[in-house]
Structures are given as C-alpha cells and as structure tokens.
Amino acid sequence: MFWEPDRECMDREELEQLQFERLQSTLNRTYSNVPFYRKKFDDLGILPEE
C-alpha cells in the first residue's frame, strides 16, 4: 500500500474534480481506441468530452 497525502487529504471538491478528470480521460481513451464503445457513443449522439 502507498500513502499519498496530497490525494488522501484533499478536500471534497478537489477529489471530485480529480475523479471527473480521470473519468473524462478514460472515456476519451475508450472512444478513441474501442470501436464497440465509439459506436455506442455515436448511436447516442454524444461525445466523450460532453
């Protein structure tokens, strides 16, 4: 286990922002690299950065 005080002691708003940025990064990477999910996004008419 690793102790990361900057992450583990951040306030709620900073944590939510970090989680949002990581989710957005995951969605962008998935859209760019996985045709199945790109089609799902396209069928729904959304872009991962929305």
Q: What residue spans define the domains of the chain?
A: 5-44
Please report the pLDDT score of residue 48 as a whole number: 85
pLDDT on residue 3: 79
Length of the chain in residues, anyone? 50
Q: What is the pLDDT of residue 1?
A: 66
State the pLDDT at residue 8.
83
Q: pLDDT tens for residues 3-38?
A: 788 888 899 999 999 999 999 999 999 999 999 999
End-to-end CA distance of the chain: 34
Residue-wise DSSP of 5-28: HHHHT--HHHHHHHHHHHHHHHHH
Which residues touch 10 (CB under 8 Å, ≥6 apart)?
A: 18
**Are the C-beta atoms of 27 and 50 separated by less than 8 Å?**
no
Identify whether the C-beta of residue 37 lies closer than 8 Å to the C-beta of residue 30: yes
